[in-house]
Amino acid sequence: MERATAQLADRGAGRCTLSGALTLETVPWVWQELSAGGLRETAVDADLTAVTDADSAGLALLIAWSASSRAAGGQLHFTGMPARLVALAQLTDAGALLEPAAGAGAAD
């Protein structure tokens, strides 16, 4: 069985890209990298287009990251959300937790 991996790329100006797996196996590393790079509080746009696998741990990471951003006075937008994460968010009624505080409407 192949080990899951994730990558985080800082694109500057508060923009970053996540790719690979956002799973129980990779989330601790991603959280550590977000913290070490200062992106946990300062990111404004996270592109998830290249995320290839995700589970509830990945959803929890996005919720915690969004909350950290709001607590620091920021507003984090996720783009390219994989269908699996969207489905998990809808299933758990967590979709609103991933939206910016201003409520720039997501599709229902």
We report the CATH number of the domain holding residue 63 as 3.30.750.24
Residue 74 has pLDDT above 70, yes or no: yes
Q: What is the rounded distance in angstroms from the CA atom of residue 106 to the CA atom of residue 108?
A: 6
DSSP structure class, residue 94:
-
Over residues 14-34, mean pLDDT: 97
pLDDT at 105: 38
Task: Work out how many domains the chain is built from and give that number.
Answer: 1
70 falls within a domain:
yes
What are 51's strand-pairing partners? 20
Domain that residue 46 falls in: 6-98
Are 25 and 31 contacting, i.e. CB atoms less than 8 angstroms apart? no
In a domain, 107, yes or no: no
Q: What is the pLDDT of residue 1?
A: 63
- Please say whether the beta carbons of 66 and 98 come within 8 A: yes
What is the tens place of the pLDDT at every residue in 85-100? 999 999 988 888 887 6
Does 103 map to a domain?
Answer: no
Asked if residue 51 belongs to a domain, the reply is yes
Burial (CB < 10 A; 0-12, 13-18, 19+), residue 13, is exposed
Predicted model pTM: 0.88
Q: Is the pLDDT of residue 43 over 50?
A: yes
